[in-house]
Amino acid sequence: MADLTTSYLGLTLKNPVVASASPLSKKVEGIQRLEEAGAGAVVMYSLFEEQITHESLALDHFLNRGTESYAESLTYFPDLEHYNIGPESYLELIRKAKQAVSIPVIGSLNGVSTGGWVDYAKKIEEAGADALELNVYYIPTDPAITGQELEQNYVNLVKDVRAQVRIPLAVKLSPYFTALPNLASRLVGAGANGLVLFNRFMQPDLDIETLEVTPNLQLSTSSELRLPLRWVAILYGRVACDLALTTGVHSGQDVLKAMMAGANVAMLASELLHNGVGRITEILSDMAAWMESYEYESVKQMQGSMSQRAVAEPAAFERANYMKALQSFDNKKLY
Partner 1 sequence: MSTRQIVTIDGNEAVAYVAYRLSEVIAIYPITPSSAMGEWSDEWSARKIPNLWGTVPMVVEMQSEGGAAGAVHGALQTGALTTTFTASQGLLLMIPNMYKIAGELTPAVIHVSARSLAAQALSIFGDHSDVMSVRQTGFAMLASRSVQEAHDMALIAHSATLQARIPFLHFFDGFRTSHEVQKIEQLSKEDLAAMIDEELVSAHRARALTPERPVLRGTAQNPDVYFQGRETVNPYYAACPAIVQKTMDRFAALTGRAYHLFDYEGAPDAERVIVVMGSGAETAEETAKYLAARGEKVGVVTVHLYRPFSTEHLLAALPATTKVISVLDRCKEPGSAGEPLYVDVITGVAEGLAAGKAPFKNMPRITGGRYGLSSKEFTPAMVKAVFDEMKKAEPKNHFTVGINDDVTHSSLEYDPAFSITDPATVECMFFGLGADGTVGANKNSIKIIGEETENYAQGYFVYDSKKSGTVTISHLRFGPKPVRAPYLISQASFVACHQFTFLERLDMTRYAIPGGVFLVNSIYGPDEVWNHLPREVQKDIIEKKLRFYTVDAYEVAQKTGMGGRINTIMQTCFFAISGVLPREQAIEEIKKSIKKTYGKRGEAVVQRNFEAVDLTLAHLHEVKVPAQVTSTLSRRPAIGADAPEFVRDVLGPMLVFEGDNLPVSAIPVDGTFPTGTAQYEKRNIALEIPAWDPATCIQCGKCVMVCPHAVIRQKVYDPALLAKAPAGFKSTEAKFRELPGTMYTIQVAPEDCTGCALCVEACPAKNKSQAGLKAINMVEQPPIREAERANWEFFQTLPDIEPGSIPATTVKNAQLLRPLFEFSGACAGCGETPYLKLLSQLFGERTIIANATGCSSIYGGNLPTTPWAKNAAGRGPAWSNSLFEDNAEFGLGYRLTLDKLGEYARELLTGLSAELGDTLTEGLLNADQSTEAGVAEQRARVAALKEALKGIRDPRAASLLNVADYLVKKSVWIVGGDGWAYDIGYGGLDHVLASGRNVNLLVLDTEVYSNTGGQSSKSTPRAAVAKFAANGKALPKKDLGMIAMAYGYVYVARIAMGASDQQTLRAFLEADAYEGPSLIIAYSHCINHGIDMRKGLEQQKLAVNSGIWPLYRYNPALVDEGKNPLIIDSKDPTVDVQEYAYNETRYRMLVQADEARAEMLMKFAREDVRKRWELYKQMAAIQYGNGGSKE
Asked if residues 105 and 34 have their Cβ atoms less than 8 Å apart, the reply is no
CA trace torsion 203, 33, 171, 173 (10° rounding): -20
Select from 12-20, 61-69, 184-192, 238-246 the region that touches partner 1 (CB under 8 A).
61-69
What does 1-47 look like in DSSP terms, one character per residue?
--B--EEETTEEESSSEEEPSSGGGSSHHHHHHHHHHT-SEEEPPPE
- Residue closer to partner 1 by CB (options 61, 166) is 61
Picking from 96, 216, 117, 98, the residue whose alpha carbon sits closest to that of residue 163 is: 117
Reported as type and span, the H/E element at residue 48 is strand 47-48
First vs last C-alpha separation in the chain: 44
Distance CA 143, CA 165 (A): 34
Asked if residues 286 and 255 have their Cβ atoms less than 8 Å apart, the reply is no
Least separation in angstroms between residue 73's CB and partner 1 is 4
Least separation in angstroms between residue 26's CB and partner 1 is 10
Considering only 12, 23, 36, 83, the residue that binds partner 1 (CB under 8 A) is 83
* 65: contact with partner 1 by CB under 8 A: yes
Select from 57-65, 150-158, 268-276, 285-293 the region that touches partner 1 (CB under 8 A).
57-65
Site for partner 1 in 177-236 (CB under 8 A): 211-212
Asked if residues 196 and 246 have their Cβ atoms less than 8 Å apart, the reply is yes
Considering only 10, 23, 36, 73, the residue that binds partner 1 (CB under 8 A) is 73
Distance CA 118, CA 127 (A): 14
* 319: contact with partner 1 by CB under 8 A: no
* 326: contact with partner 1 by CB under 8 A: no
Please, which residues bridge with residue 89 across strands?
none
Select from 6-14, 69-77, 194-202, 223-231 the region that touches partner 1 (CB under 8 A).
69-77
- Residue closer to partner 1 by CB (options 85, 288) is 85
Interface mask toward partner 1 for 101-140; x: CB under 8 A: ----------------------------------------
Q: What secondary structure letter does DSSP report for 130?
A: S
- Residue closer to partner 1 by CB (options 10, 66) is 66
Considering only 3, 85, 310, 311, the residue that binds partner 1 (CB under 8 A) is 85
* 57: contact with partner 1 by CB under 8 A: yes
Reported as type and span, the H/E element at residue 82 is none
Asked if residues 240 and 232 have their Cβ atoms less than 8 Å apart, the reply is no
* 64: contact with partner 1 by CB under 8 A: yes
- Residue closer to partner 1 by CB (options 80, 334) is 80
* 79: contact with partner 1 by CB under 8 A: yes
* 147: contact with partner 1 by CB under 8 A: no
Least separation in angstroms between residue 45's CB and partner 1 is 14
Three-state secondary structure string covering 271-285? HHHHHCCCHHHHHHH
Binding site for partner 1 (CB under 8 A): 52-53, 55-86, 89, 211-212
